[in-house]
Amino acid sequence: MDLGLRGKVALITGSSRGIGRGIAETLAAEGCRLMLTGRDEAMLAESAVQCGRLGAEIRTIVLDLRRPEATAKLVGAVRETFGRLDILVNNAGTTSRGDFLNQTEEEWREGFELKLFAHVRLARAAWPMLCETKGSLVMIGGTAGKQPTANSIIGASVNAAINAFCVALAQLGNDVDVQVNVVSPGHVDTARLQRRIDARMKESGLDEATVRERYVRQLGVSRLGLPKDVAELVAFVASPHGRWIHGAVIDQHGGQINPI
């Protein structure tokens, strides 16, 4: 299926690795022009090279979105380089897991600052450009926003806030024909998840294949997700084919039964 994205301009935060990089590569393959941003210059460059091999026009900018001034710089770079913005994918940011009683206020602040507040600022700054193109904003949340667990209490709180923010913002989008949605992945096989697998291997003394099998069984799914799974959904949602999906929080977790 041709998604009708050729020539569209997409800005993807956190696009140097994992889900963000997968989204960048998928949109590149669909013919989008891309502005990629992240904090790791070397990995961002690798991501840009791969997207370039897919034939996309790429620009990169290394930024820490926790800094309020970074937002205007990023949006200004998009306008100066491409003159328009059709798709904004707010992906950057992770939260720490652990015991609530031992988590610090700084860990809570860090979780909300990068994964929520930075993207609230970016959505506000990019909104006029999205209005000009009748564009699409997709935020990457997480299933913990609906299925909170004690060991992911920060992430659950942040993702619940992301859900509320986007559903409310979609109401404003109705007035100007800007599409707003959340894609909430479950357990995706990224470097971050690999660190959890490694920790379980160390604790249990089991080999990786066994730990992964037990992890999948505990989740109640047939397999772990892949960045490509999330990326292809984002591309469809932001395309003309997905235009009637609006104000939605889309869970994508392979039928996960047990939140862990």
Question: What is the count of structural domains for the chain?
Answer: 2
pLDDT of residue 93: 79
Q: Is residue 34 classed exposed, middle or buried when 0-12, 13-18 and 19+ CB atoms within 10 A define those classes?
A: buried
Enumerate residues 6+ apart whose C-beta is below 8 A from 210: none
114 and 202 both lie in a single domain: no
**Structural domain contains residue 67:** yes
- Check pLDDT > 80 for residue 21: yes
Q: How do residues 57-103 score in pLDDT, each as one tens digit?
A: 999 999 999 998 999 999 999 999 999 999 999 998 788 888 999 99
Instruction: Please state, in angstroms and as integers, the Cα–Cα distance from residue 193 to each residue in 61, 150, 187, 196, 200, following that order.
Output: 26, 18, 7, 5, 11
Half-sphere exposure of 71 (CA within 13 A, CB side): 18
- Considering the entire predicted model, what is its pTM? 0.94
CA terminus-to-terminus distance, the chain: 35
**Structural domain contains residue 41:** yes
Contact 47, 24 (CB under 8 A): yes
Instruction: Please state, in angstroms and as integers, the Cα–Cα distance from residue 32 to each residue in 4, 27, 36, 58, 184, following that order.
Output: 10, 6, 12, 9, 23
Residue given tokens 């820490």 in the structure block: 64
CA 142/CA 154 separation, integer angstroms: 12
Q: Work out the pLDDT band at 51, boundaries 50, 70, 90.
A: very high
213 and 241 both lie in a single domain: no
85 and 196 both lie in a single domain: no
pLDDT of residue 129: 98
Backbone φ and ψ of 128, nearest 5°: -60, -40
pLDDT of residue 217: 93
Domain residues for the domain of 217 are 189-224
pLDDT of residue 259: 74
160 and 219 both lie in a single domain: no
166 and 233 both lie in a single domain: yes
**Structural domain contains residue 240:** yes
73 and 96 both lie in a single domain: yes
180 and 205 both lie in a single domain: no
Q: How do residues 191-223 score in pLDDT, each as one tens digit?
A: 989 999 999 999 999 999 999 999 999 999 999
Q: What is the CATH number of the domain that holds 86?
A: 3.40.50.720
110 and 141 both lie in a single domain: yes
216 and 234 both lie in a single domain: no
231, containing H or E segment: helix 227-238
Q: Is residue 207 classed exposed, middle or buried when 0-12, 13-18 and 19+ CB atoms within 10 A define those classes?
A: exposed
Contact 13, 92 (CB under 8 A): yes
